[in-house]
Amino acid sequence: MNEQEIEARAQRAVELFHEGFNCAQAVFASCADIYGVQDEQLALRLSASFGGGMGRMRLVCGAASGMFMLAGLHNGSATPHDNDGKMKNYAFVQQLAGEFKGKYGSLICAELLGLAPKGQCDCKLDLDPRPAERTPEYYEKRPCPEMIAEAVRIYLRNIKS
């Protein structure tokens, strides 16, 4: 996949976010077809629970979670005692996580949104499950579109080599 194709998928992910999908859905659905998941609705449903830092609990960033779900499609093991396969997948996830954290300083949604200091998240959970209303003000204050696009770029650049 060349840089132009990577950028097109990154922009598709941002479009999905602006259509109202969460960060995990945007990242996962923009690339799931690479692995034969042609049904976009299925991709969106599979990744739906990972938005807002796992069900809006502000834990692991949805954009990062979307990358990790794609990593499972890429080299996840489907054999119960395949320790070598698990190790390969976990190493890939750790590589992706390291690049994302290196760029943004955290993998934690609350920290990325400025709701908790970076590196000091005690994860006091906002358990209100209602998603925020998607208004122009919502999009203006969210750093998510940049992180979504970068998660797609990080992922695709790591699989193309």
Structural domain harbouring 128: 3-160
pLDDT in tens, 81-106: 899 999 999 999 999 999 999 999 99
CA distance linking residue 90 with residue 81, whole number of Å: 14
Question: pLDDT band at 131, cuts 50/70/90?
Answer: confident
pLDDT in tens, 7-62: 999 999 999 999 999 999 999 999 999 999 999 999 999 999 999 999 998 999 99
| Number of domains present in the structure of the chain | 1
pLDDT at residue 133 in the model = 84
| Residue bearing the bigger pLDDT, 128 or 101 | 101
Instruction: Tell whether the model's pLDDT for residue 134 goes beyond 90.
Output: no
pLDDT in tens, 50-81: 999 999 989 999 999 999 999 999 999 999 88
Q: Which residues contact 73 (CB under 8 A, 6 or more apart)?
A: 32, 34, 35, 37
pLDDT at residue 124 in the model = 52
Question: pLDDT band at 122, cuts 50/70/90?
Answer: low
